[in-house]
Chains A and B, each alone.
Chain A
Amino acid sequence: MCAAPALLIDGTARIGTTPLFGPLRLGVAGGRITCLLGPSGVGKTTLLRLVAGLDEVTRFEGRITASDGLPLAGRIALMAQGADLLPWRDVLGNVALGARLRGQPPDLPRARAILDRMGLSEHARKRPHALSGGQRQRVALARTLMEDRPIVLLDEPFSALDAGTRAQMQDLAAEHLTGRTVLMVTHDPGEAARMGHAIHILTATGLETVAPPPAKVPRAVDDPQTLAVQGRLLARLRPAA
């Protein structure tokens, strides 16, 4: 994988004539994790779908570009809420799905190696319904890594997990996504404080940037500065009384 490019999202999103968000200018640093927080319905997921080229309803006036000037298509991997595994394929089949969808022979040894790194080797032949929530999420991460794209979009990937499993997944994701340009939408101030090299809050009027804690990502759950940032984020996210 060559150096992951930075992203620039610059413009206004509208549904019909109703403005959704913006004008905003969001820079996503290359090879870093950028966390995007914000109240529900503000358009965080829409922003991700726009970057992925998936949104056909929202009109985006402006530009979404990579710092190397190359098109984004084919360089993005997506990991969404709830893992979204194909229930009729086993774990190995899910991890190797991308190649099949592109009509290429899947690289099964590599898929097995990635499953091994995720601690899922013994589950390779199981169907998703036979796995726990945390295991399913690890399969989704393995599938994302299998795609080996420089840009990774995460849409509240761990929101359905219990607190302990979530912290574990955050460590695993931060470790394995190192070097990629990651844009992560989350509801959880703690998650942003642990994982973000940069942290932004999306509001109806634009972006607010919050300075991340100084420690290295993934930050310890009990790191005082991380907890302080988590508190500050929560205070900003609370609706005005």
Chain B
Amino acid sequence: MTRVLTIAASTALALGLWQALVMLASLPPFILPGPGRVAEALWTSRALIAEHGVITAAEVLIGLALGAVLGGTSAIGLAASPVARRLIRPMMVFSQAIPVFALAPILTLWLGYGLASKIAMALLIIYFPVTSAFFDALMRTPQPLLDLGRVMGANGTRLMWHIRVPAALPGFASGLRLAAVYAPIGAIIGEWVGASKGLGYLMLLANGRAKIDLMFAALIVLALLTLLLHAGVDRGCRRWLDGHSAG
């Protein structure tokens, strides 16, 4: 209850500051509309925003699911094979030096203006955090557990499945929590570069037509979507890892 109150209070404070800024600096609506105008745009354009929101949400969710699967398998593969580590890890680190933003036009060129290029962007942006969080955890299995497994006669594969992977799941979960925040960024970049649907597209469109109130409305919906996704993933991970706490 206190938490709800705190959230309500800090939201009210933010809206108040926003309104005060608009009034004190007497900003015209085409530079920064007040919260009232944005709320109005949110309401009158609700069907339009929902239509585009669903597309962005789909891109993000599919990207996140693919990122979790691909990142998870990559991390296990890297942890299992020293050869893979030596060959592939430098490549992964190098790939991180390339700004994902710069790849967006190429992805659009290759995958078209539809969902695929945005899903690929979301996937690219979350693949590394997911893989590296899980991989690091896989490489830090508590030594006593490894000793125990070896003395009990486990081969590498069974040691991986029964001890290393379950012990590393909290690391995987923190990678997924990060991914939930990054994935929407990937989808939006993809939409900016070339799309005919999605919240990112709607924001560009509204901006181009000087409908700044609609742009802010779409931005707020995007932020809420991200928060919701993060909360959902966090909750899912918690439930999944129930009883995983060491001790």
Contact = CB atoms under 8 A, between A and B. Distances in A.
Contacts of B159: 101
Contacts of A3: none
Contacts of A80: 144, 147-148
Given A76-B151, A84-B144, A103 B158 contact: yes
A49 B159 CA distance: 18
Contacts of B150: 52-54
B186 to A, nearest CB: 32
Contacts of B163: 86, 101
A211 B247 CA distance: 38
Nearest to A131: B247
Of the candidates B144, B159, B163, the one having the most CB atoms from chain A within 10 angstroms of its own CB is B144
Interface residues of A, number: 25
B217 to A, nearest CB: 44
A53 B150 CA distance: 9
A238 interface: no
Q: Binding site of B, secondary structure by majority: helix, strand, loop or mixed?
A: helix
Nearest to B243: A127
27 contacts: A52-B147, A52-B150, A52-B151, A54-B150, A54-B151, A76-B151, A77-B151, A78-B148, A81-B144, A84-B144, A86-B145, A86-B163, A86-B167, A87-B243, A88-B243, A98-B152, A98-B153, A100-B158, A100-B162, A101-B152, A101-B154, A101-B159, A101-B162, A101-B163, A127-B243, A129-B243, A129-B247
Interface of B: 142, 144-145, 147-155, 158-159, 162-163, 166-167, 169, 243-247
A52 B146 CA distance: 12
Interface of A: 49, 52-54, 74, 76-78, 80-82, 84, 86-88, 97-98, 100-103, 127-129, 147
B245 A129 contact: yes
Of the candidates A81, A98, A128, the one having the most CB atoms from chain B within 10 angstroms of its own CB is A98
A97 B149 CA distance: 9
A74 B145 CA distance: 17
A96 B163 CA distance: 14
Nearest to A103: B158
Given A88-B166, A98-B152, A147-B152, A49 B158 contact: no
Given A86-B166, A101-B153, A78 B147 contact: yes
A54 B147 contact: yes
Nearest to B151: A78
Of the candidates A52, A76, A87, A127, the one having the most CB atoms from chain B within 10 angstroms of its own CB is A87
A74 B153 CA distance: 7
Contacts of B243: 87-88, 127, 129
B13 to A, nearest CB: 40
Nearest to B244: A88
Contacts of A100: 158, 162
Given A102-B153, A102-B154, A102-B158, A87 B148 contact: no
B229 to A, nearest CB: 26
A103 B162 CA distance: 10
A101 B247 contact: no
Contacts of A77: 151
Query: Which 9 residue pairs across A and B have the least CB separation, nearest first?
Result: A101-B154, A84-B144, A98-B152, A78-B151, A127-B243, A101-B152, A129-B247, A87-B246, A102-B153
B107 to A, nearest CB: 38
A219 B157 CA distance: 44
Of the candidates A49, A54, A81, A86, the one having the most CB atoms from chain B within 10 angstroms of its own CB is A86
Contacts of B147: 49, 52, 54, 78, 80
